[in-house]
A and B are shown apart, each in its own frame.
Chain A
Amino acid sequence: MAECHPVGFQWVTEAKARGATVIHVDPRFTRTSAVADLHLPIRAGTDIVFLGALINHVISTESYFHDYVVAYTNAATLVHEDFRDTEDLDGLFSGYDGATGHYDTTSWAYQEPEDGAVAKAGGNEHGSSESARSAGEEHGSGGPALEHSVVLRDETLQDPRCVFQILKRHYSRYTPQMVADVCGIPEEDFLKVAKALCDNSGRDKTTMFCYAVGWTQHTVGAQMIRTSAILQLLLGNVGRPGGGIMALRGHASIQGSTDIPTLFNLLPGYLPMPKVGDHETFEDYIASITSKDAKGFWANADAYMVSLMKSWFGEHATKDNNWALDLLPRLTGAHGTYQTTMAMLDDEVEGYFVLGQNPAVGSAHGTLQRDALRHLKWLVVRDLQLVETATFWKDSPEVASGEWRPEDIDTEVFFFPAASHAEKAGTFTQTQRLLQWRHKAVNPPGDAQSELEFFFEVGKRIRARLAGSTEERDRALLAMTWDYPTDAEGEIDPAAVLAEINGRDADGQLLSAYTQMKADGSTSGGCWIYTGVFADGINHAADRVPGRDQNPIAAQWGWAWPANRRVLYNRASADPEGKPWSERKKLIWWDAESGKWTGDDVPDFPPDKDPSFRPEEGTGGPDGIAGDDPFVMMADGKGWLYAPKGMVDGPLPTHYESQESPVHNPLYAVQANPTRVIFERKDNLFAPSPPAPGSDVYPFVFTIARLTEHHTAGGMSRWLPYLSELQPEMFCEVSPELAAERGLENAGWATIVSPRAVIEARVLVTDRMKPLRINGKIVHQIGMPYHWGVGNEAVISGDSANDLLGVVLDANTQIQEGKLGSCDIVAGRRPRGEALDRLLAEYQSRAGVTAATGTQRPHSVDTQGDSH
């Protein structure tokens, strides 16, 4: 955090000065480790064992926050009797289908009250379908649908089928000894963390987890984060000040880019893109998202969707055309950025827009990415500088090695200079969901223009060309609203776009809250969770009351979604009766006199709902929320220790080894996540993992991370002299032990070989890297930054660490395993030209690597017992 979010880290150092304990768990020793009370080097990819053992510790020592857990989580809820755990099936859950590598998630559901039937909640979609459309990402603002809100509960937590008992059993083998054997963290260090965690959680204290989004870049990425969520719920650290799980996102508006997504599977506000066949009518579409019988605000998804379609298509969105759902394209599977890369290689994509992004350096498997660009007919790159993606045809490593000649590359390339953040107005949404408006300082230079202006112009010209067309393919383009107000120079007004996103009522007045949205077509709004940013006609993203003139919540600086609320689910900061759990940790509370929730933050709860209120059983929507249901976006009002829906690879996080690993999974017979997304191709090879022969050819773990002085693939840092001078050269960090073993010299050169690429880097021999003892065997890890790329335009260049990666994805999110892989390291610079290819091939041959290596999944499993 100190390394990649230095200014945010000031709050950690301030907390430390006031007595907080700071614990850093990371394979590398970074600037964070330097100031932490405790740094634990961990074997990359084993976080679920570490966190799972903490869960086991919290349960077995009865350190959980009992009253919170019983009242606010689903610990007491009974799970269906057909459910089988990984402890029963040696690493698989019930419902696994070996033919597809996906789960039928039906048996993971809650127990139904009457006949014991499995809930067909919101239509129970098969895991393969959920995975393909990355359905888990729909839960960016609320939980998965349940058909209704009625559950069976045992508040003594003793029923063997209640979530608490299932959880206890699931993690019973995640012991301190297991942490030592799998993660390489000594038992005594683990116990120090466990003690600090328990001592600093409860009524008077809270613990916070911060993770950089590298946690998502694993084949078990989403489940790593789930493990931390379970732990935080057990300790009562969610919805309370100083608690929670902080996703430290790495880009100025990466939160905004999922809220208002440029993602294949989402529409704004976490509404799903429609899928072929399943979403023919508006009713089908809404039924797949939510049910009016489920609790909470997600039950009104119909109003959010109709309002979105009114914003996009105006009068052309009517009840008769399914509120313009009829005009939208349909998904047929996963169409993520890596599937798109493969489609380019197969010549299925003709044109590609790359906007402020540098996949030739920043995406996994650079060689494959650059090859994909070579297959395009036309490529549009818009950026501040001539990034490697724009110049791949003239200075990529493949051109440098003589493998490709520019004359043979048929891709037509357009480079458009982009406007910088200072040259356009608009909002970023930072990592705590806060929208902050940037005022425009100056005009962009020369022909540079913003994406907003460029796409407004492209849209206008497309519509002008198509005017009068009656072709079906042109209908939506002509029907969409595109009449934005412009200034004297004809440029689009960004505030008008934000106002459209906010939404309007039937009279054209700006809405103040998403609760005003209706499903009858009388309201509009381009992203329901952002409704209120323009409440009362004021652009609240531009609110700028200085922090020193406000309380620590600072509600008048920017605007946070939803409803300018700064701590989500903050009803949980008060006890079931509505009193703060402690004076020290109070945030909002029930004021019986006024009959309202009040406090320092905007209450995340119906404002006048009495804590003692109990709805009639089965009531759905916001009315179904009981006075002690803090999780208002979850279908049962509770925080989910166990996820009966929503995850495709299991209702509970389970340790699997990474796609490439130096060890055999010590916990289960299943080595890697059985649902991981695999592309079995000759240009996407993987190293064997033990006990397969050849696994010793790539014996080391490489792990990739960032540096303070650079930014991602370097487009905004390697062109700046200041930053280039501070961190001029690609390097790798190795321990003195590994350096001795391989003859590596500090400041000398090393060549790193994976099954995909050979790169070179300067060597940093340092105690910051620790050899780990894993099950009695030493495992070496090599740390590398990924900011460099090969090209002629930047101030500094160097080999790209991401070239070492293969493409294998988390099935929940379609995100690549980008943090680690297997490699060898030898002293000296890498060969050039054909000799480089020969070295790569020689390693592959020695390891016996084929396209099929590492692509195996377990066979099917008998739902009642043994795996086969």
Chain B
Amino acid sequence: MGLSPLEWPVVRQLRTGDRLGRGPAVTSARTRATEPRTSTADRVVQSVCPYCAVGCGQRIFVKDEKVVQIEGDKDSPISRGRLCPKGSASEQLVNSPTRPKQVLYRKPGGTDWEPMDRDRAIDLVVDRFLDTHRRTWVDRDEQGRRLRRTMGIASLGGATLDNEENYLIKKLFTAAGAIQIENQARI
């Protein structure tokens, strides 16, 4: 490709006064045309980092209904725009190629996963829940006192669950008489 002598690097350097070759003289047309993902995003959504409990503000940049970047929220009085290595990596958390996108099922004694339709999988879980609930329900203890529970169903949740999620989980399981409902908060 022919390049005008005026565009030769050394001439460019002299022409633009970029004597050390660290400025505009060494940018290509492509570099000059590049824009940060944060400026081309369709929208920015305020969020909160999901890792530790400091609660740093995040700004999630979305383009074409995909998360394209996650940065610190400079408005946050807690974090003032900063994120640690984990918070800074959270775009990978969302867009990880290894995230399974479908429900997987492993039958008893199975040696591998089988994909399963989500609607069917939820139905199968409900089947098992109600079957265990029915068979393991204990209404009263040997002294006739109220127990109203099942010891056949347990749960352990992480502490990245939302308050609203924990609320529904506790309400549903308690109404079902399942009491072994636990959380990372005990660990």
Contact = CB atoms under 8 A, between A and B. Distances in A.
Interface stretch (A42-50, A105-113, A333-341): A333-341
Interface string A416-439: 110011111011111110111011
A527 interface: yes
B50 A362 contact: no
Interface stretch (A146-154, A442-450, A832-840): A442-450
B113 interface: yes
A255 interface: yes
Contacts of A264: 179-182
Interface string B63-80: 001110010001111111
A441 B60 contact: yes
B187 A815 contact: yes
Contact of B152 (A351, A410, A814): A351
Contact of A350 (B60, B76, B153, B177): B153
Given A357-B184, A550-B77, A332 B141 contact: yes
A328 B128 contact: no
A359 B106 contact: no
B45 A336 contact: no
B14 interface: no
A472 interface: yes
A795 B123 CA distance: 33
Contact of B83 (A7, A337, A416, A435): A7
A423 B90 CA distance: 12
A438 B100 contact: no
Interface in B133-182: 133-134, 136-137, 139, 141, 143, 145-172, 174-182
B164 A498 contact: yes
Interface string B21-58: 00000000000000000000000011111111111110
Contacts of B99: 384-385, 417, 445, 448
Contacts of B152: 348-351
B5 interface: no
B182 A442 contact: no
A94 to B, nearest CB: 30
B79 to A, nearest CB: 5
Interface in A367-401: 377-378, 380, 384-386, 393-394
A455 B53 contact: no
A726 interface: yes
Nearest to A443: B65
A793 interface: yes
A329 B148 contact: yes
A721 B180 contact: no
Contacts of A456: 168
Contacts of A554: 77
A252 B122 CA distance: 27
Nearest to A454: B122
Contact of B53 (A431, A479, A552): A431
Contacts of A455: 165, 168-169, 172
Contacts of A260: 163, 166-167, 170
B37 to A, nearest CB: 14
Interface residues of A, number: 162
Contacts of A78: none
Interface string A238-281: 00000000001111111111111111100110000100110010
B4 interface: no
B109 A723 contact: no
B185 interface: yes
Contacts of B77: 546-548, 550, 552, 554, 557
Contacts of A415: 100, 103-106, 113
A335 B179 contact: yes
A352 B167 contact: no
B183 A428 contact: no
Interface residues on B, range: 35 or more
A715 B50 CA distance: 12
Interface string B11-25: 000000000000000
B86 A337 contact: no
Contact of A416 (B121, B128, B149): B121
Contacts of A251: 51-53, 158-160, 184
A497 B168 contact: yes
Contact of A351 (B49, B102, B132, B157): B132
Contacts of B174: 267, 312, 328-329, 476
A331 B178 CA distance: 10
Contact of B45 (A8, A440, A709): A440
Nearest to A308: B171
B30 to A, nearest CB: 25
Contact of A7 (B87, B104, B113): B87
Contacts of A421: 47-50, 90, 160
A380 B157 CA distance: 11
B183 A248 contact: no
Given A357-B157, A380-B125, A326 B164 contact: no
B52 A250 contact: yes
A480 interface: yes
Most buried by B among A256, A354, A476: A256
Contacts of B167: 260, 268, 497, 500-501, 526-527
A477 interface: yes
Interface stretch (A458-466, A611-619, A772-780): A458-466
A436 B53 CA distance: 11
Contacts of A348: 151-152
B155 A353 contact: yes
Contact of B184 (A257, A406, A422, A557): A257
A422 B60 contact: yes
Interface string A1-24: 000111110100000000000000
A139 interface: no
B108 interface: yes
A436 B54 CA distance: 11
A422 B67 contact: yes
A806 to B, nearest CB: 15
Given A10-B80, A261-B170, A815-B186, A359 B53 contact: no
A719 B54 contact: no
A423 to B, nearest CB: 7
B168 A414 contact: no
Contact of B50 (A6, A267, A445, A716): A716
B186 A336 contact: yes
Contacts of A62: none
B103 A416 contact: yes
Contacts of A411: 108
Q: Which of B88, B134, B155, B161 has the largest number of chain A CB atoms within 10 A?
A: B161
Contacts of A494: 162, 164
A358 B152 CA distance: 20
A712 B99 CA distance: 18
A709 B184 contact: no
A454 B67 CA distance: 23
10 contacts: A250-B53, A253-B166, A257-B159, A393-B110, A415-B106, A416-B103, A451-B169, A458-B122, A480-B172, A711-B51
Interface of B: 45-57, 60, 62, 65-67, 70, 74-80, 82-90, 92-94, 96, 98-113, 116, 118, 121-126, 128-130, 132-134, 136-137, 139, 141, 143, 145-172, 174-187
Given A352-B153, A438-B46, 6 more contacts: A253-B163, A260-B163, A330-B145, A349-B153, A415-B113, A428-B50
